[in-house]
Amino acid sequence: MIAEIPMSESEISRLLDDIVEIHYGYIDMGYAWLFPKREYISAGIGGRLIKAKTLIQRLRSYLRSHGLRDDVRVRGCFLPISRFRHNVYAERLMLTGDAAGFVDSFSGEGIRWAILSGKIAARTAIRCHEKNRFSADEFKEYQDQCFSNFGADLLRSAKLADRLFGHPWILLKTALINDRILKMHLKTITGEISFREYADWVRIRFPLFFIKRFFSPKKENTSKPTHCSLL
């Protein structure tokens, strides 16, 4: 569920200061976020389909808890995850970003992949224009380049999400309450590390994190915000 809260640039800067705020675990097996734009704040909440009936109410509550108006229009959508199971090109056509299904299966993040695929599409379009060839065969190179640049990351993200969501109270719950797992995941969003590196990092350390979850005296807190700088 997504809502756009209009406000001035100075108000947005005061509230978020060019920082994306993500609240992992705000709802069971999900998260909420605040994303600063030029003339509004994009706020949203995402979770599993079985929680869909309560998402609108939880989103409005989330807005109120941050001092934001909750009488705005709320819209919902499914994450367009393709897993490279279909072509993203045709004659005189290339799909980028969400239209191509380039979305992180674990977090729902897609801006980075939209930018990367857009750049590859632009270079492909220039090349095709120079050769005056616009057949599907010419645009196949676009899909191949997308897969070689970030396809492995998106597929690894999908596999990790399948495992976590397939065993929510054992695996996903452990991930959502572990600051190290969440902060390391933000590095995949900013491009500091690949998702393959992240998945390998999690796989090696997860057994220890899982054990600590039950034997650590620290109280679990699943609504602590995690931040990602836009600068």
pTM above 0.85, yes or no: no
Contact 140, 128 (CB under 8 A): no
Q: Specify the pLDDT at position 225.
A: 54
Between CA 91 and CA 97 the distance in angstroms is 18
| Ordered strands of the 225-229 beta sheet | 74-75, 2-6, 40-46, 31-36, 19-24, 225-229
- In this structure, the number of other CB atoms found within 10 A of the CB of residue 73 comes to 7
- Judged against a pLDDT cut of 60, whether residue 218 lies above it is answered with no
Contact 180, 211 (CB under 8 A): no
The pLDDT tens digits of the residues spanning 5-18 come to 999 999 998 888 87
The pLDDT tens digits of the residues spanning 113-159 come to 999 999 999 999 999 999 999 999 999 999 999 999 999 889 988 88
Compute the half-sphere exposure of residue 14: CA atoms within 13 Å on the CB side of its CA: 8
Contact 56, 62 (CB under 8 A): no
